[in-house]
Amino acid sequence: MKLRYFLLLLFASLGTFGAPLPQSQEPVLFKDVRIEDPFWSPRIEANRTGCIPANYKMCKETGRLDAFKPEYKGGRHIFWDSDVAKWLEAGYYSLQTTPNPELRKTLDEVVADIIAMQETNGYLNSYFHYADPKGKWQYLRHNHELYCAGHLMEAAVAHYYTTGKRDFLDCLCRYADHICETFGPKENQMHGYPGHEEIELALVKLYKATGNKKYLDQALYFLDERGKEPLYFALEEGKRGGDTNLWQRDKNYHQIHKRVRDQDEAVGHAVRALYLYSGMADVARETGDLGLLEACKKLWTSVCERKMYITGGAGPYLGNEGFEGDYVLPTSHICNETCAGIANAFFCHRMLSLTGEGKYADILEKIAYNNGLSGVSLDGRSFFYNNQLLTFDPEPGAPREHIRKGHEHPDLHRREWFGCSCCPPNQARFVASIGGYIYAKKEDSLFINLYIGSETTVPLKDNKVRILQKTDYPWDGKVVVSVDPEKQGEFEVALRHPYWCRRYNLTVNGQKYDAPMEKGYLVIKRNWNKGDKIEFTMDMPVERVYANQRSKELRGRVALQRGPVVYCLETCDNATNDLDKLLLPKDGKIEAKFEAGLLGGVVALSGKAFLEESAKDNSPLYTTKTPKGREVDFKAVPYYAWDNREPGSVIVWLREE
């Protein structure tokens, strides 16, 4: 080990540096960005008019909202608070974009109920307050209390940024204070950590909103306690009369198989893991902790370079909603949970902020246009928990409303709600907060991470710059950026060069600009004036994507992608419901065409495929005759938009001839 590196690690191991890492980006918060974009504005509007009300309706119907009230007589559940919190968070984000007094009133009423329920010591959980007061903090491994606390903190921070009012934030600070008192290294404290990670990243948010460093320290405590022997969860099981000898798979499930700084492979429950890694990256960024940074880099590589779906999702295994081995990427009967994709976006965004490297934004973008949107229907009213890449619908064309409410074929079509309904409100908050992922700054540099029509004003070291983006991305590769500094001055505008982009043209004020590439960004460093204009035009051909040959499931298969958008085939556009019978010829021409009337306006792909289907229905089980078939037209649509028309099957990875 090199001495310099050793010393850095030594410092890191001594605790927090107390200063952000110098290479980091500071994201421009959602509250400071206004979106006006042909792709995202309709998504945000569907989120506001469809998804957020749908979440409200189901939270109300199922008792989740009333569970905060003392007069409520129905059942309660240990993770209900988190669903409500994510809906609140989404709601307050949404109010930023579009004021809505009725929604504001609904949200504020629920917030008032939550605040009113808080115990005098700060404790705040509707299940344990009413249904099991003696159970508080007694079973961290499975009881989701710290998880719910984290989501409430995130909601309170969103509430604070949107409304400017401190009451909900103060309420959650009191809860956080109680948690800081309860959990810690002192003898009279519990040496525990959450069974479902989330509070780590939430405590950092609370720290950033309040400036109270105690919350950052508490996040670090939870991280560093994790995986310490003897394992807290083992001791807890012992106290409960259970088996203190935890199985390896259970340790993996909770990411307690190693100390977090020693972890280098993503294992266990995918959402738990990705929330943990996000919290690690947050703490690393705020404290300059290089040990955490190195672990985060390894874990990100494990997730995004060895275990990630082409759509940005992760966690194939249905049995534990978890990761599999490297390159294990089955396409049907998979988990690939909506929340895991979104959690991966969180992790990528934090790695981007932490390192300033464009490759993290590449995957953030991949999620934003694929798995991060596939969880919700175009009208915002139905949801996937699991995101399949290959399905076979035994009843294509069945009535949509029946499917939405029904329990049959749970993974084939989107549904209204789930017993464990973490995904619908997560989807709502992700879309509502997309504005927070577009821009970032660092001293005199301004970063454009996502190409979304939008406007923001960013204070740089000695200046203040208004940025206006206009684009038809992801359908068209042209992005026009107006740069309006408050005063003339030299600074950098860094445009992310997407990983999929092989050719581009870049001009500033109509003149070709030869920008150097730094960490995945095209950096334009010049003396800027009001009214300066960048034109960045990326070639966007249809591309054939192949998986690493170590992926047994994806060998011999090809996916279609254009720009960041991954495509799929659906029954309703194609000659068969059994889409895996289609073979894509290796050298067939594929046409891309924008269709304004299709799925809210998308670029669809079309070409010729070979349908391997015998005419006879009574063909034998085994035969020596070469399989027969015929040439057919195929049509592909963006994966995120599938299952919005006549119900049927889907395929992403086609066999290639």
Q: Indicate the pairing of strand 630-638 with strand 511-512.
A: unpaired
Rounded Cα distance, 464 and 456, in Å: 10
Degrees (nearest 5) of the Cα angle 527, 530, 531? 110
Smaller CB separation from its own copies, 32 or 543: 543
Q: Which of 23, 121, 138, 619 binds its own copies (CB under 8 A)?
A: 619
Output the furthest CA–CA distance in the chain (Å, rounded): 78
* Cα–Cα separations (whole angstroms), residue 591 to 337, 501, 605: 32, 18, 5
Per the annotation, the verdict on 321 as an active-site residue is yes
Residue appearing with tokens 């209204």: 416
| CB 620, min distance to its own copies, A | 7
DSSP per-residue codes, 67-122? GGSTT--S---TTHHHHHHHHHHHHHHHHHHS--HHHHHHHHHHHHHHHHH--TTS
Closest CA to 148 of 425, 428, 435: 425
Q: Which of residues 579-598 bind its own copies (CB under 8 A)?
A: 580-581, 583, 586
265 lies in the site for its own copies, by CB under 8 A: no
Q: C-beta of 656: minimal distance to its own copies in Å?
A: 9
Active-site residue identified among 321, 337, 365, 492 = 321
For 56, 460, 463, 512, 594, the CA distances from 489, given in Å and listed in that order, are 48, 11, 7, 21, 40
- Which of these is catalytic: 51, 173, 422, 572? 422
* C-alpha triplet 221, 6, 4: angle, nearest 5°: 125
Helix crossing, 338-355 with 290-306: angle to 10°?
Answer: 130
Pick one of 397, 548, 608, 630: the residue that binds its own copies (CB under 8 A): 548
**Binds its own copies by CB under 8 A, chosen from 546, 577, 588, 600:** 546
Cβ at position 655, least distance to its own copies in Å: 5
From candidates 547, 592, 603, 637, binder to its own copies by CB under 8 A: 547
Of 101-109, 479-487, 530-538, 545-553: span binding its own copies (CB under 8 A): 545-553
CA distance linking residue 302 with residue 267, whole number of Å: 9
Cβ of residue 612: shortest distance to its own copies, in angstroms? 6
Residue range at the interface with its own copies (CB under 8 A); choices 166-174, 223-231, 397-405, 624-632: 624-632
> At its nearest, how many Å lie between its own copies and the CB of residue 298?
15
Please report whether residue 440 would count as binding its own copies according to CB under 8 A. no
Of 98, 110, 86, the C-alpha closest to 46 is 98
- Contact with its own copies (CB under 8 A) among 552, 593, 608, 630: 552
Q: Is 405 left (phi over 0), alpha (psi -120 to 50) or beta?
A: alpha
Mark 504-543 with x for binding to its own copies (rule: CB under 8 A) and - for no binding. Answer: ---------------------------------------x
Query: What strand order describes the sheet that includes 517-518?
Result: 26-27, 439-442, 445-448, 489-496, 521-528, 517-518
| 471: three-class secondary structure by DSSP | strand
Give the nearer residue to its own copies in terms of CB position, either 529 or 614: 614
Q: Are 558 and 439 in contact (CB under 8 A)?
A: no
| Residue range at the interface with its own copies (CB under 8 A); choices 147-155, 371-379, 483-491, 616-624 | 616-624
- Scan residues 307-326 and list those touching its own copies (CB under 8 A): 308, 310
State the number of binding residues for its own copies (CB under 8 A): 38
544 binds its own copies (CB under 8 A): yes
CB of 519 to its own copies, least distance (A): 18
C-beta of 506 vs 559, nearer to its own copies: 559
Of 236 and 393, the one with the shorter C-beta distance to its own copies is 393
- Mark the segment that binds its own copies (CB under 8 A) among 55-63, 398-406, 515-523, 617-625: 617-625
Is 422 one of the catalytic residues?
A: yes
Element containing residue 651 per DSSP (H, E) = strand 650-651
Site for its own copies contains 623 (CB under 8 A): yes
Interface with its own copies (CB under 8 A), residue from 9, 131, 501, 545? 545
CA–CA separation, 271 vs 344, rounded Å?
Answer: 8
Under the binding rule (CB under 8 A), the answer on residue 549 touching its own copies is: yes
Binding site for its own copies (CB under 8 A): 304-306, 308, 310, 327, 392, 543-552, 555-556, 559, 578, 580-581, 583, 586, 612-614, 619-627, 655
Q: Annotated catalytic sites, by residue?
A: 321, 422
